[in-house]
Amino acid sequence: MFLKNCWYVASQASELGRVLMQRWIIGQPVVLFRSESGQPVAMEDRCPHRRAALSKGRLVGDTVQCGYHGMRFDCSGACVAIPGEEQIPPALKARVYPVVQKWHWVWIWMGDPALADEALIPDLRHNDMPGWTVTGGVLTVNANYQLLTDNLLDLTHETFVHAKTIGNAAVAETPMESKIVGNEVHVQRVMRNTPPPPLFKRVRNLTGNIDRWQIIRFQPPSSISIDARGYPTGTEDPEKGLRWFSINSITPINETSCNYYWTITRCFAQDDAQITDLIHNQILATFMEDVDVLEAQQQMIETDAPNRGEISIRADFGSVAARRINQRLIHKEAQGNARKQGAVPSPEELVKAT
């Protein structure tokens, strides 16, 4: 069960162009491209005629031409040409999904298009901040998307999974403060006067101890931004230390796999390409360590008795809270749909029905 009436990342803005690209999102195949004017467009990747994959066809101007029988669909999903036929059955429409480019990524609304509201896109503004430098990518992970939100809401694991880059003993030893704010979860860990982890040293030549912050914000269903700071102890001086945001949004492919979109966006050494490369490669290596742990965890869950409970500890407050928020939103959405299906028909519907 996935939340449908919400925005998911469908692709990085940079990877989308005048080429048909396929992505699977909450179990559905989607074909993505840019119109001639550069607007991102998304359709169900099934031709309404015989369900051929539209992504195997080609772009003809602002239409998608199916690669099988050559039917063409415009950006509204309307069929505008059937080779060799003059009449177009009105039902022959491709499903189109609302898409919006924002915060470095292209977002898709898989639910009721009438409810798609750009204002509901998670606030990940640090991906697009003037004067900040972004690097990032996307990883396919064979694990349920909530294993990733769990992962990002309890960074204790950095000590054990990421000792080569961003983890050290200080992380696991320092308790977190967590709170629920509406539909968001905020988790914070402040480590005073602790040794910097290996990557911080390499990136900013930190030699002595630092004060270190991890300020985590979860926005449902699966966006997590982490305000990470490490300044020489007592200085609170970004100039001498490190500050970046780790921005993460996870899009379910299906129940057992997901696409993990990530960036690191920083406000120091903005034009230093070597630093960008260093951060990119080290964070990618860090996340590949997570993939290894999470894919094994997924296998253990799949092979376990279906309703075997987990034992939670204090550090799980944030991830458990986030799961409950998603559960509540999914439940509410299902109730809304049920109400709609049993609703008193509108006057228009009554007219149609008679």
Interacting residues toward a second copy by CB under 8 A: 27-29, 45-46, 48-53, 56-57, 65-70, 82-85, 87, 89, 91-92, 150, 154, 156-157, 159-161, 172-175, 292-293, 296-297, 299-301, 303-304, 310-315
Contacts of 62 (CB under 8 A, 6+ apart): 35, 36, 74, 75
Task: State which residue, 205 or 303, has the beta carbon closest to a second copy.
Answer: 303
Task: Specify whether the CB–CB gap between 166 and 197 falls below 8 A.
Answer: yes
* Least CB distance to a second copy at residue 52 (A): 5
3-state secondary structure of 307: coil
Instruction: Specify the residue, 117 or 177, whose C-beta has the smaller distance to a second copy.
Output: 177
CB of 151 to a second copy, least distance (A): 8
Nearer to a second copy, 274 or 341 (CB): 341
Smallest separation (angstroms) from a second copy to the CB of 128: 33
- Please, which residue, 133 or 286, has the CB nearer to a second copy? 286
User: Closest approach of Cβ 56 to a second copy, in Å?
Assistant: 6
CA 307 to chain centre: 27
Of the pair 28, 263, the CB lying nearest a second copy is at: 28
Q: Which residue number, 61 or 234, has a Cβ lying nearer to a second copy?
A: 61
Q: What is the closest distance, in whole angstroms, from the C-beta atom of residue 292 to a second copy in the complex?
A: 7
- Tell the smallest beta-carbon distance from residue 313 to a second copy (Å): 6
Strand stretches in 195-291, DSSP E = 210-219, 223-232, 242-254, 257-266
Q: How far is the CB of 67 from a second copy (least distance, A)?
A: 6
Distance (Å, rounded) from C-alpha 21 to C-alpha 39? 14
**What 3 state SS string does 17-66 have?**
CCCCEEEEECCEEEEEEECCCCCEEEEECCCCCCCCCHHHCEEECCEEEC
Q: Within 10 A of 68 (CB to CB), how many other CB atoms are there? A: 15
- Closest to a second copy by CB, 296 vs 338, is 296
Q: Which residue, 38 or 175, is less far from a second copy as judged by CB?
A: 175
Q: 155 vs 96, 107, 113, 261, CA distance in Å?
A: 38, 26, 36, 18
227, 68 contact by CB (below 8 A): no
Q: How far is the CB of 22 from a second copy (least distance, A)?
A: 9
